[in-house]
Amino acid sequence: MQQEIYKIGDVTLNFRHYTGMDLYSDGDVEDELLGIVRNHRPEEYQTIIEQEKSWPIFYHLSRERSNIIEWIPMQGTERVLEVGSGCGAITGMLAKKAAEVTCVDLSRKRSEINAVRNNTCSNVTIHVGNFRDIEPDLPANYDFIFLIGVFEYAQGYIGTEQPYENFLKMLFRHLSPGGRIVIAIENRLGLKYFAGCAEDHLGTWFSGIEGYHADSVATTFSRSGLIRILKSLGIRNYHFYYPYPDYKFMNLLYSDQYLPRASDLLDNVYNFDMDRLVLFNEKHAYEGLIRDGLYPTFANSFELVIGPGFPTIFSKYSGDRAEEFRIRTDITINAAGRRMIEKHPLTEAAVEHVKGMQSAYTALSNRFRGGDLEINACQLDSTGTVANFPFVQGIPLSELLDYCLFKDDMDNFRRLFSEYLRRIRYGEEEAVADFDLIFSNIMVNGPIWTVIDYEWTWGKRIPARDIAFRAIYCYRLEDKKRRVLDPRPFYEDLELTKSDVDRLVAEEANFQKYVTGERESLVEIWKGIGRSASVPKELQVETQTLQERDPLTVQIYSDIGEGFSEENSCFAEEHYNRHHAITLEIDLLPGTRALRIDPAYVPCIVTLQRVAWNGVSVSERAPVVTIHPNGRWIGSDSILFSMDDPGIEFGIAVAEREKKNHLSVTMTTALLPAEVAVSVADGLDEEEGLSRYEEMPPERGGLLSRLRKRGRDDA
């Protein structure tokens, strides 16, 4: 007979209402999860996630899961009820923040996983069984009731004709005066579902948008749909927050008091639970919706707080970092009604990093005193662990540059860049520099330019041209639309040589490794899990005839052991700029043997200006790629293609194939009339051309001389 109450470590489990059968299970992976939490410490989970490359393991053990409640301010005295606690991804964080945590979950196996992973939390009790059966035994004085990914299942939990309304009525019976119910749920009209993500619970496309069937296992709601439920119960005190990209792996949190700017959101193609389609670019679609005031309607997820709101109106997590750099940045409203910025450490190791921001403020203020760059004031709170800053009004410099770039107003773009360079050069000889003085960290308000984030300030001299290079480099990486910007004229203005650029790119790669501590990013985890984001053939250029097709469309093929095929290809989102140049940033999956880039669909001449492997120019290292075009080399780095299907194959050394690598290719393409291309090709003496090429000195032979020679030798 089942013992009604027993303990795992310091956690109490109550089986009084357990029926003896788990009605909800992920199968054998739950045994694997139990083994992981039993045999490993929480700080080892990230390594296991990266090794296992499994969606269930990532979902249940990722620390990003708890971001959805970590930001909520608590005093440490609260009593908390968590309905649907599962494997404990949220429970552990609640136990740190509250005095007492009561959990309810249907599954015995999941509750045991929860108890084992949080076994030192003596303030946690887990009730196993259906909430409807357990509810009469619960007290009536909870300060918080959390439903994280649970409200949509009310039909199964509660039944009845109005399950969602009745569920809330039951919960209110257990809420203290002034208490809050917090619901995290998908928006059935979230933009990602229009853009090609399958519905989370059913795994089918457009299910929520079209409307659920009566027997659906779960039902999500639009913002208006949730408000209708609240109003039917007479609830008027509620607040919507908007987790991005969704509530499961939130890294940004907006609110009705602080909605995103058009340029704030990042590309979101990384759907972890299922493969997805890419019907359009979500980020670009959001930009228009945001300008029209429609973001709340099409946000991917909601965090609905029933009851009093919070002073926090925005949060940003910098969690994909080494332990000593993990922080959260909040925008809050203080008692005087003024907006403030707060930076909180997410780990004990990050406390010193936050404390250092006050010293950085003092050092930078001294450097720029008398110049034209303001440094936003920093003051530590009474605990000495939270950095506080005034909220600065204005427009990010990056947004002003976007306006010029997308209007093709390069004169004003260059004027803004020159003004940026003038201001950051002040005090350049001083032994203090903000390495992260990128455009998005400068707020412009008329003649006043204010640095709002100087987290990476170092006590050494860094040339302003190096910092300006990084600003341009990061600006282009932040948004694919910005890659129409040709950075070379700016590098020339900064008097940067090719070796300078290669050095700075390598330094940037090293800096990112320093910040992340070699931890895999969410993008790398997504690729490791093996999910795909595919463009339907009906939307691909390949469905057009050659006459209809843009001749300068770039197609990329991957050979992962089966040769090149249309199924393993994609069309580059990057486009040639008005100078017919393009930079392709290609992340390779482990196991990739070769890539092929088709630069156009007509005869042309392609000049490879730069090829970089993992951020380092191929001319600066022993070659790990070989280059085999199906055209003819006609100069140091140029290839003539006299056919309609030009292609450049990049072969990858065996030793590199099982690693995660990145290939960057910058090239220009000039189209040729077919008869001209054929005539030129017929007139070439290839061997003579090759011998002339090989006799060139290194400075004229171009970055690909050794690679091309090696490619011919291998052939």
Q: Say yes or no: 155 and 227 in one domain.
A: yes
Chain segment 152-192, per-residue pLDDT in tens:
999 877 877 899 999 999 999 999 999 999 999 999 999 99
The two beta strands, 648-652 and 625-629, are: antiparallel
Burial 570-591 (b: 16+ CB within 10 A, else e): bbbbbebeeebbbbbbbebeee
Last residue of some domain: 453, 487, 521? 487
Q: Is residue 329 part of a domain?
A: no
Q: How confident is residue 655, by pLDDT bands cut at 50, 70 and 90?
A: confident
Give pLDDT, residue 269: 59
The two beta strands, 387-390 and 374-375, are: unpaired
What's the DSSP call for residue 623?
Answer: -
* Domain harbouring 110, CATH code: 3.40.50.150
Give pLDDT, residue 291: 94
Question: What integer is the mean pLDDT of 625-629?
Answer: 87
Q: Say yes or no: 454 and 399 in one domain.
A: yes
Can you tell me the distance from the alpha carbon of 437 to that of 441, in angstroms, rounded to the nearest whole number?
Answer: 6
Question: What integer is the mean pLDDT of 33-50?
Answer: 94
Can you tell me the distance from the alpha carbon of 343 to that of 383, in angstroms, rounded to the nearest whole number?
Answer: 13
Last residue of some domain: 292, 324, 356? 324
Q: Is residue 85 part of a domain?
A: yes
Can you tell me the distance from the alpha carbon of 135 to that of 154, in angstroms, rounded to the nearest whole number?
Answer: 14
Can you tell me the distance from the alpha carbon of 59 to that of 44, in angstroms, rounded to the nearest whole number?
Answer: 15
The two structure tokens encoding residue 221 = 């709601």
Q: Say yes or no: 24 and 85 in one domain.
A: yes
Can you tell me the distance from the alpha carbon of 398 to that of 616, in angstroms, rounded to the nearest whole number?
Answer: 26
CA 367 centroid distance within chain? 34
Chain segment 209-257, per-residue pLDDT in tens:
999 988 788 999 999 999 999 999 999 999 999 999 999 999 999 999 9
Q: Is residue 232 part of a domain?
A: yes
Q: Is residue 331 part of a domain?
A: no
Q: Alpha helices of 119-242 — where are they, by DSSP H? A: 131-134, 154-158, 163-172, 191-195, 207-210, 223-232
Question: What integer is the mean pLDDT of 654-681?
Answer: 81
Q: Say yes or no: 290 and 165 in one domain.
A: yes
Q: Is the pLDDT of residue 610 over 60?
A: yes
Chain segment 449-498, per-residue pLDDT in tens:
999 999 999 999 999 999 999 999 999 888 878 888 989 899 999 999 98
Q: Say yes or no: 319 and 367 in one domain.
A: no
Give yes or no for a contact between 669 and 576, defined as CB atoms under 8 angstroms apart: yes
Which domain does 419 fall in, by range?
A: 346-487
Give yes or no for a contact between 564 and 472, defined as CB atoms under 8 angstroms apart: no
Q: Is residue 412 part of a domain?
A: yes
Give yes or no for a contact between 92 and 65, defined as CB atoms under 8 angstroms apart: no
Q: How confident is residue 684, by pLDDT bands cut at 50, 70 and 90?
A: low
Question: Residue 121 in 3-state DSSP?
Answer: coil
Can you tell me the distance from the alpha carbon of 711 to that of 693, in angstroms, rounded to the nearest whole number?
Answer: 15
Can you tell me the distance from the alpha carbon of 252 to that of 246, in angstroms, rounded to the nearest whole number?
Answer: 9
Give pLDDT, residue 698: 34
Omega within 30 of 0 (cis) for the link into 487: no
Q: Say yes or no: 304 and 350 in one domain.
A: no
Q: Is residue 503 part of a domain?
A: no
Give yes or no for a contact between 279 and 196, defined as CB atoms under 8 angstroms apart: yes
Q: Say yes or no: 447 and 376 in one domain.
A: yes
Q: How confident is residue 544, by pLDDT bands cut at 50, 70 and 90?
A: very low
What's this model's pTM, rounded to 2 decimal places? 0.78
DSSP per residue, 470-502: HHHHHHHHH-GGGGGS--HHHHHHTT--HHHHH
Can you tell me the distance from the alpha carbon of 645 to that of 189, in angstroms, rounded to the nearest whole number?
Answer: 42
Q: Which amino acid is at 72?
A: I
Q: How far apart are the first and last CA of the chain?
A: 73
Q: How confident is residue 146, by pLDDT bands cut at 50, 70 and 90?
A: very high
3-state SS of the chain: helix, strand, coil percent to 5?
35, 25, 40
Q: Is residue 584 part of a domain?
A: yes
Q: Say yes or no: 264 and 366 in one domain.
A: no
Q: Say yes or no: 146 and 278 in one domain.
A: yes
Give pLDDT, residue 326: 96
Give pLDDT, residue 715: 31
Contacts of 450 (CB under 8 A, 6+ apart): 373, 374, 375, 376, 392, 394, 442, 443
Q: Say yes or no: 452 and 574 in one domain.
A: no
Query: Structurally, how many domains does the chain consist of?
Result: 3
Q: Is the pLDDT of residue 658 over 80?
A: no
* Domain harbouring 361, CATH code: 1.10.510
